[in-house]
Amino acid sequence: MLRKSISKVAALTIVAIVIVIIVVAAALFTIGPAPSPSPSPSPTPAKKYKVAILFDVGGRGDLSFNDMAWLGAERASKELGVEVSYLTPKSLQDMIPLLESLSESGEYDILVLIGFLWTGPLNQTADKYPQQKFALIDATTGVIRDNEVDILFREQECASLVGIIAAGMAYELGGNTIGAVAGMDIPPLWKFHIGYLFGAKYFELKTGKKVNFLWQYTGTFTDTQAGYTTGMQLLQQGAKVLYGLAGLTHVGMFNAVIDWNKEGKGKAFAIGQDASQEWYAPEYIPLSGAKRVDVAVYTAIEMVVKGTWKGGIITLGLKEEGVGIWDLDGVEWFAELAKETGQLKDMTPDDVYNTVKSLREQYIKDYVWDLVNELAEKIKKGEIAFKTPMTHEEYDAIISELLKGNLNAALEKGSVT
């Protein structure tokens, strides 16, 4: 059931938090020694698969998207025995040369490309190296190739549930405005935008309570100051709940929400995304959306190791547990691992768990959870399905209709009345 289901950050603190993510991954996916194989007169050495993970130019340390990709690759290293290398291009211009160099080397069984920014470079490279397998995570080139698998997420599904909850919390906080601090204006964020707005309008439709909606692109996933500034601007416009959709940038948004509360400007909450981020400031972050980039990365690597490779497009949504809302068990798990690295200096993991649990019980009412579960079931059963805009014009049109209250404009299957 789905219900189960920073003060400004100095540079040193950011570095420290990145360490948390590293230790988290190692701790989660550490397993016991594998049993010794039975003696064989003519043992055949097992193939050692080599994998290269290519982050986007933002690289590690975003506390969400790229770090979740790292988690999935580390899991594959532990469970599947693959050898993993991690690379980050120095700039956008460095992407194609890097991709070509790795492909020409023939060293890697699969190159896993993290994020939309790899789409163009891959389209210019994949056909030149038909023997090289590529996995593009969270984007698609739009071309079906035998040597390429694209793994996408149905972000609308996750964001729609978050939109309902954000709207409900805003009312409990004495307002009716919710907002989002987004990264770059790219297709995955279009889907988050559509879903989040859809959820807010679904809440409005079902309850008759008006919801004001704010959305702001920052143009970056790596600038905490931009996130802080944008977050403050939205709070000044009356937002009671802010959804972070900008990687490391939205850590700055967290800072803004914390300062807003501590400076007595009003009570407001933040919502995290991708990894469970409640532990970061549990008094002010009662919820995080889950986007399991780790599952996507692991899935791509597993296809190579187990010989089930098939080029094409795979999508992960609520039904496949590729997206959702982090439950309290997930919140506690991340808090425990944060404690191990000394990040929870004034709280224990139990404190985090109990704080988040208490916030959810106080500010997310039963009728809100009922709406969340109602919509989630419709999605899982395939009764409704969201459109995926192929162009910016189509995206703009959907948002325009949603703002007017036409929820069905966001759907390619089913209807909401």
Domain coordinates in residue numbering, the chain:
11-25+47-154+293-316, 156-290+330-413
Residue 95 CA to residue 76 CA, distance in Å, equals 24
Report the pLDDT value the prediction gives residue 66, as an integer from 0 to 100.
Answer: 83
Report the pLDDT value the prediction gives residue 46, as an integer from 0 to 100.
Answer: 65
Give kind and range of the element (H or E) at residue 299: helix 293-305
Structure-block tokens of residue 317: 């949504």
The yes-or-no answer to whether 11-25+47-154+293-316 and 156-290+330-413 have a common fold is: yes
The pLDDT tens digits of the residues spanning 85-136 come to 999 998 889 999 999 999 999 999 999 999 989 999 999 999 999 999 999 9
Residue 131 CA to residue 129 CA, distance in Å, equals 6
Contact assessment for residue 407 and residue 198, using Cβ atoms and an 8 Å cutoff = yes
Please state which architecture CATH assigns to domain 11-25+47-154+293-316.
3-Layer(aba) Sandwich (3.40)
Enter the pTM of the model. 0.80
Chain-wide mean pLDDT for the chain? 88
CATH tag, 156-290+330-413: 3.40.50.2300
Q: Which of 40-44, 269-273, 385-389 has the lowest mean pLDDT?
A: 40-44
Give the confidence band of 71 by pLDDT, cuts at 50, 70, 90.
confident
- Region 310-319: what's the mean pLDDT? 95
DSSP string, 82-140: -EEEEE--SSGGGHHHHHHHHHHHT--SEEEEESGGGHHHHHTTGGG-TTSEEEEES--
Using the predicted structure, report yes or no on whether residue 277 has a pLDDT greater than 60.
yes
Q: How far is CA 3 from CA 93, 164, 305, in A?
A: 45, 13, 36
Give the confidence band of 409 by pLDDT, cuts at 50, 70, 90.
very high
Which of 199, 153, 205 has the alpha carbon at shortest distance from 180?
Answer: 199
Looking up tokens 């209709």 gives 401
Using the predicted structure, report yes or no on whether residue 28 has a pLDDT greater than 80.
no
- Region 374-382: what's the mean pLDDT? 98
- Region 235-249: what's the mean pLDDT? 96
Residue 335 CA to residue 352 CA, distance in Å, equals 7
The pLDDT tens digits of the residues spanning 55-66 come to 987 777 666 678
The pLDDT tens digits of the residues spanning 326-371 come to 999 989 987 886 787 677 788 999 999 999 999 999 999 999 999 9
Looking up tokens 């400004």 gives 8
Structure-block tokens of residue 242: 């802010």
